[in-house]
């Protein structure tokens, strides 16, 4: 594994379609592979991979390794890890990129351990030093208060990239590439863990991480009831509602609402923050927002340093006025 070549992306083929995080990794991978002058490949694991394999090629992959096996139909850490370890050792990539999804958080450190290398976690941006061909990764440290540049001195160099850190790669149906079937030997005895039950959370409306408009509430709202006002405003604007960690920890809204370092990363066109101070942990999850609007009664709140537009005032006065004005406009 000492002299690897090429960039390998660990793709997501859930439901027979290429996942959105894989498209983001393809954007990052294209840039790195171009700088290296090496091949960009995607590893897909599952039991129905024909469609996602072609999607990967049309979005920039030059080669797709299709790892077909019935035991890979659903995510099971032991089966997926064993298959990826075998593929990585056979292919010998210089760089491996993983999306820091729930599955990626399980896979990336285990794969790095199996291959005897380090891992750059929670990366916001990756690049390479063209002279040494070393991967350089930007990642938040000290609770998001600073950005560290880390490098890997072992091959393969592995980085787990935060979702929404990159815009998805553009599709070009004229692209051509190679699909290679990679057989693996798996059996039930490899499973050290077992999924006892799966609970699907019923969700209505737009997913928080996909929304173009997000309206979040924080500790300053004082309780769960004000979130009904945020829901009303979001419905008028065609957006969805988020929250700070303080609001989630207080039990006012479910954890699925949380935006921030330990919550979801969002990149909406418009992000309206109501009664949120703008702590670095929260900003780590929304700094990619194109326009931030802050509503806070504290004129010295940190959020006004980050927001393009700010309203100093009590949300109980500002929010109803904004809602009424938007109703008139729409």
Average pLDDT over residues 266-292: 91
Q: Report residue 1's pLDDT band, with 50, 70 and 90 as the boundaries.
A: very low
The percent of residues above 90 in pLDDT, for the chain, comes to: 73
User: Could you state, in order of their start, the residue ranges of all structural domains in the chain?
Assistant: 7-190, 208-329
Assigned fold of 7-190: Rossmann fold (3.40.50)
Residue 6 pLDDT more than 70?
yes
Of the ranges 96-110, 219-233, 275-289, which one carries the lowest mean pLDDT score? 275-289
Interatomic CA distance for residues 122 and 140, integer angstroms: 7
The percent of residues above 70 in pLDDT, for the chain, comes to: 98
Which residues lie closer than 8 Å to 276 by C-beta, 6 or more apart? 216, 217, 218, 219, 220, 244, 282, 294, 296, 303
pLDDT digits (tens, 9 = 90+) for 129-151: 888 899 999 998 887 778 899 99
Task: Give the pLDDT confidence score for residue 297 in this predicted structure.
Answer: 94
Average pLDDT over residues 220-245: 94
Task: Give the pLDDT confidence score for residue 128 in this predicted structure.
Answer: 92
Cβ atoms 280, 145 nearer than 8 A: yes
User: Does domain 208-329 fall into CATH 3.40.50.1220?
Assistant: yes
Of the ranges 79-83, 206-210, 211-215, which one carries the lowest mean pLDDT score? 206-210
> Do 7-190 and 208-329 agree at the fold level?
yes
For 278: left if phi > 0, alpha if psi spans -120 to 50, otherwise beta; the answer is left
Question: Look-up: residue for tokens 């001195």?
Answer: 153
Question: Look-up: residue for tokens 């969700």?
Answer: 203
Q: Report residue 203's pLDDT band, with 50, 70 and 90 as the boundaries.
A: low
Interatomic CA distance for residues 186 and 198, integer angstroms: 23
Average pLDDT over residues 179-204: 84
Interatomic CA distance for residues 100 and 238, integer angstroms: 28
């Amino acid at each position: 594994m000492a002299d690897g070549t090429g960039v390998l992306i660990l793709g997501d083929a859930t439901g027979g379609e290429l996942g959105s995080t894989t498209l983001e990794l393809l954007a990052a991978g294209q840039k790195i592979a171009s700088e290296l002058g090496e091949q960009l490949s995607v590893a897909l694991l599952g039991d129905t991979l024909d469609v996602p394999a072609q999607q990967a090629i049309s979005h920039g992959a030059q080669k797709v390794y299709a790892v077909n096996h019935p035991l890979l139909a659903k995510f099971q850490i032991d089966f997926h890890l064993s298959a990826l370890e075998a593929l990585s050792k056979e292919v010998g990539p210089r760089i491996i990129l993983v999306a820091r999804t729930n599955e990626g958080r399980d896979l990336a450190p285990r794969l790095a351990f199996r291959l005897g290398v380090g891992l750059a976690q929670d990366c916001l941006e990756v690049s390479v030093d063209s002279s040494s061909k070393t991967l350089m990764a930007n990642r938040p440290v000290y609770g998001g208060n600073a950005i560290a540049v880390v490098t890997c001195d072992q091959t393969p160099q592995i980085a787990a990239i935060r979702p929404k850190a990159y815009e998805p790669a553009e599709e070009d149906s004229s692209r051509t590439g190679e699909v290679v079937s990679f057989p693996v030997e798996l059996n039930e005895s490899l499973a050290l863990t077992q999924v006892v039950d799966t609970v699907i959370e019923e969700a209505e409306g737009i997913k928080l991480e996909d929304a173009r408009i997000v309206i979040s509430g924080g500790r300053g709202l004082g309780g769960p009831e004000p979130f009904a006002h945020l829901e009303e405003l979001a419905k008028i604007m065609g957006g969805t509602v988020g929250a700070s960690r303080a609001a989630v920890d207080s039990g006012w809204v479910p954890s699925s609402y949380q935006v921030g370092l330990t919550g979801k990363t969002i990149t909406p066109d418009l992000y309206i923050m109501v009664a949120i101070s703008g702590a670095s942990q929260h900003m780590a999850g929304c700094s990619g927002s194109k326009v931030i609007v802050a509503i806070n009664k504290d004129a010295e709140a940190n959020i006004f340093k980050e927001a393009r537009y700010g309203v100093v005032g009590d949300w109980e006065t500002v929010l109803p006025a904004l809602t009424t004005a938007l109703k008139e406009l729409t």
